[in-house]
Amino acid sequence: MSEKDIWEKMYEAAKKEYHPEDVSPFFTAHHVVAAVESAKTGKIYTGFCIEGASGVLDLCAERVAVLNMYINEGNAVVKRMIAFRDKAPKNNGGMPCGACREFLMQFAYENRETEILVDYESRKTVLLKDLIPNWWGDKRYNK
């Protein structure tokens, strides 16, 4: 048996969080899951989506995973990210929403280099910076 690659480790870690459930009559959770790899330590952190009856209360799995990393190690730089529902990303799946893209870009300048897995089988990735070309916030980073 060959050693698991980082994407398999991240997939398996996130998959443990997948168990859709109603938290209350207003909230559902665990129907989208994510894992991020810390650029600082290489540790994998997971998160799950939680959605309320009012969209402004929603938290995507990607943001929860990044906040989990930040809480546990004070680091906001993400090396790699995977997100999915019940199956691994396929055919450009697993793309973070606009709010998550913006969140990552604002949290750390280095996150523009975050690899996002979009096809598990082929290990195809995209870089966050390619999803947000000419990002408005570059001026604030003075880069």
pLDDT attached to residue 2: 60
Residue at 49 is within a domain: yes
Residue 52, classed as helix, strand or coil, is: strand
Domain that holds residue 88: 6-141
Q: For residues 102 and 92, give the distance between their C-alpha atoms in angstroms, rounded to a whole number.
A: 19
DSSP letter at 55 equals G
pLDDT attached to residue 39: 98
Angstrom distances, CA of residue 111 to CA of 36, 76, 90, 123, 126: 11, 8, 23, 19, 12
Higher pLDDT, 142 or 115: 115
pLDDT per position as a tens digit, 1-23: 467 899 999 999 999 999 999 99
Q: In this structure, what CATH number is given to the domain that contains residue 51?
A: 3.40.140.10
Angstrom distances, CA of residue 68 to CA of 45, 100, 133: 6, 14, 27
Residue at 32 is within a domain: yes
Angstrom distances, CA of residue 134 to CA of 10, 106, 109, 142: 30, 14, 13, 14
pLDDT attached to residue 142: 79
Residue at 120 is within a domain: yes
Residue at 73 is within a domain: yes
pLDDT attached to residue 54: 84
Residue at 12 is within a domain: yes
Residue 143 pLDDT exceeds 70:
no
Number of domains in the chain: 1
Residue at 78 is within a domain: yes
pLDDT attached to residue 57: 83
Residue at 28 is within a domain: yes
Asked whether the beta carbons of 26 and 15 are under 8 A apart, the reply is: no
Residue at 1 is within a domain: no
Closest CA to 120 of 41, 42, 10: 10
Asked whether the beta carbons of 71 and 107 are under 8 A apart, the reply is: no
pLDDT per position as a tens digit, 53-88: 987 889 999 999 999 999 999 999 999 999 999 999
pLDDT per position as a tens digit, 88-139: 999 999 999 999 999 999 999 999 999 999 999 999 999 999 999 999 999 9
Find where tokens 């913006």 sit: 102
